[in-house]
Chains A and B, each alone.
Chain A
Amino acid sequence: AQSVTQLGSHVSVSEGALVLLRCNYSSSVPPYLFWYVQYPNQGLQLLLKYTSAATLVKGINGFEAEFKKSETSFHLTKPSAHMSDAAEYFCAVSEGTGNQFYFGTGTSLTVIP
């Protein structure tokens, strides 16, 4: 069975500081991993995805995530937070073709000026 755990339902960072949003997954096979962002009153937008190529994945808006199999983690980072990064972030896992997505509970990011 698959599951996704996002540690910290709320994270606050200062503008210009490092953003680190944590995601751990459980999967019995090599997973497909995704990060989505949701701005207020909008749908989810794909930030980046890992599909067994490079372990460090670069996404949009300066975000990147690293797949660490030994830690079953896929944490999302951005070197310098911007006010526009304030949003809800969701991690998701899929075990590959033919299977559904499993979303984490989300992390709300607040950026303090």
Chain B
Amino acid sequence: DSGVTQTPKHLITATGQRVTLRCSPRSGDLSVYWYQQSLDQGLQFLIQYYNGEERAKGNILERFSAQQFPDLHSELNLSSLELGDSALYFCASSRRAGGYEQYFGPGTRLTVT
């Protein structure tokens, strides 16, 4: 158990809908990262937050957004969902920003039908 929790574990929704994925980092970790993993694209970095502020952006679509709250939990919002958004979404946390090892949550499996 990494100490990172993600909810829900599975999510099935229809195209065009909006969903919110939630992540709670390990106790004491200030940085949160979001990743998308699919068979054709591999592991893709989406976005990083550090202590409530956006720190780095990767291959995140405009339909996707995220935020980190004062209690350091984070949410990833996915809107206007398409079939191609079906993937595993991982959250990871680290003590600081960059350089420090990341600890991954178990992931949320999103299926868009």
Q: Within 8 Å of chain B (Cβ to Cβ): is A83?
A: no
Q: Within 8 Å of chain B (Cβ to Cβ): is A97?
A: yes
A105 to B5, CA, bound (A): 24
Partner of B33, one of A46, A96, A101: A101
- Considering the complex, which residues of chain A in the window 77-113 have a beta carbon less than 8 Å from any beta carbon of chain B? 90, 94-103, 105-106
Size class of the contact patch on chain B: 20 to 34
Interface of B: prevailing SS: loop
A46 to B26, CA, bound (A): 14
User: B residues within 8 Å of A by Cβ?
Assistant: 2, 4, 33, 42-43, 45, 48, 55-56, 58, 90, 92, 96-107
Q: Is the CB of A106 within 8 A of B43?
A: yes
Q: Within 8 Å of chain B (Cβ to Cβ): is A67?
A: no
Q: Is the CB of A95 within 8 A of B101?
A: no
A23 to B43, CA, bound (A): 16
Q: Is the CB of A44 within 8 A of B99?
A: no
